[in-house]
Copies of this chain bind each other. A is one copy, B any other.
């Protein structure tokens, strides 16, 4: 999905949130904001939304000298999610359809996102997503595809959400490759975040080789791309991956919460929707 005129206020809002937590003084924060605005002026037509976020955060790293602005939030999110793990595991085991419950919980975890929203309520989201009808529902298609595939490639989204993904991976019970970001970007999961969530106990954790919010294939390593194009079934979490991969011809099931009007428009569903949708081939 391309960066649109409608993305500008959101990009500036996201930059503000990031800048606010640098701890720089007000004048330095203001200077940083001006540099972000300058960066936004330079956007070329056709740039994707994740690409812009990637550039904005590269600039903020350069300005602040901080490699991982969301380090604390990510660690907190993971701890919070891990504290829920036992009760969620039990909920899945007691469910009449463990796969559906685990799928819904993985989507519920997608609320842990410091990009499109200022704040969120994890407990309320879990309750909502367990009951909310899917706005796009390829769940049975995904269930059937999972039954037939040898290995699952799972594209992670955010730290903390990882714990919810782990529950889904455990429930599916297939060999899984869990793909994280090469280095910190927004609150996206890195290897460190995945390991803190115990993903190495249930999957092979690999890096995509890129530092973009959403898997931008043109930024990924050739090692990753080899595996990506050979994958027989890919589960991609979150809006960033949808924005990056929605037109890619690969067997991708997107699992996400629609937290942005534009992504909703692209999917033809309202903001607030939960979605399991297959795109591509």
Q: What is A's interface to B at a CB cutoff of 8 Å?
A: 5-6, 8-10, 12-13, 16, 19-20, 26-27, 29-30, 33-34, 37-38, 40-41, 45
A28 to chain B, nearest CB (A): 11
A270 to chain B, nearest CB (A): 16
Tell me the number of copies of this protein: 2
A41 to chain B, nearest CB (A): 5
A38 / chain B contacts, CB cutoff of 8 Å:
37, 41
Are B33's CB and A19's CB within 8 A? no
| Other-chain residue from B19, B27, B40, B45 in contact with A37 (beta carbon distance below 8 A) | B40
| Other-chain residue from B5, B9, B26, B45 in contact with A5 (beta carbon distance below 8 A) | B26
Q: Which residue of B lies closest to A16 (CB)?
A: B9
A45 / chain B contacts, CB cutoff of 8 Å:
27, 30
22 A-B pairs with CB atoms under 8 Å apart are A5-B16, A5-B19, A5-B20, A5-B26, A5-B29, A5-B33, A8-B12, A8-B16, A8-B33, A8-B37, A9-B9, A9-B13, A9-B16, A12-B12, A30-B45, A34-B40, A34-B41, A37-B37, A37-B38, A37-B40, A37-B41, A38-B41
Provide the bound-state CA to CA distance between A12 and B38, in Å.
13
